[in-house]
């Protein structure tokens, strides 16, 4: 499948409900763990996500749609209040840091009002190695963020970010090369 290919889904199906409930139960367990239960947190992350590298760390109040579409590399870190809407695949490389209050959204909806609440589509997101995403950023469907890049706090990323760049703003624009 092409990384930018739309995946269509119907809301309210029994299968989607079952998959979503599974993720929500695991997320609730993760968010209710004591702060010093690192090994148990990693076990839940491994059960929730599609694949996980070494030493993942996720702060309190994490949320996702399905979980199994999320793939993270080694030393992945997500700050408080991270939300990943993973109706399509989200691939995050090694040594990536995500600040607090970040939203990563593969999901989209029709612009036509009729039936908008009954179905949707999703486009995969890819975040490559050694990326730092500042607090309160939004990463939208179909975006790829290249190796070593920085997304400044508060940015809304609507288009691909080349490797070795710093982007900022709404919509995010290249500030400079690293």
Q: Which residues are catalytically annotated? A: 109
Residue with tokens 């009954």: 118
Three-class DSSP category at 27: helix
Give the number of other Cβ atoms within 10 Å of residue 77's Cβ: 17
How far apart are alpha carbons 98 and 75 in whole angstroms? 11
**Over the range 3-14, which residues count as b (16 or more CB within 10 Å of their CB) and which as e?**
eeeebeeeeeee
What is the full DSSP assignment across 30-51? HHTS-TT-HHHHHHHHHHHSSE
Q: Dihedral (C-alpha) 141, 147, 150, 156: value to the nearest 10 degrees?
A: -10
């Amino acid at each position: 499948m092409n990384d930018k290919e739309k995946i269509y889904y119907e809301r309210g199906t029994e299968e989607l409900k079952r998959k979503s409930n599974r993720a929500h139960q695991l997320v609730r367990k993760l968010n209710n763990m004591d702060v010093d239960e690192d090994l148990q947190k990693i076990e839940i992350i491994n059960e929730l996500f599609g694949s996980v590298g070494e030493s993942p760390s996720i702060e309190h109040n994490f949320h996702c749609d399905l979980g199994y579409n999320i793939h993270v590399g080694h030393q992945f870190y997500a700050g408080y209040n991270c939300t990943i809407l993973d109706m399509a695949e989200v691939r995050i490389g090694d040594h990536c840091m995500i600040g607090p209050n970040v939203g990563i959204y593969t999901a989209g909806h029709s612009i036509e009002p009729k039936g908008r609440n009954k179905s949707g589509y999703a486009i995969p997101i890819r975040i490559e190695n050694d990326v730092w995403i500042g607090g309160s950023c939004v990463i939208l469907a179909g975006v790829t963020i290249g190796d070593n890049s920085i997304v400044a706090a508060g940015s809304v990323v609507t288009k691909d970010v080349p490797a070795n760049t710093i982007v900022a703003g709404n919509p995010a624009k290249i500030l400079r090369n690293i």
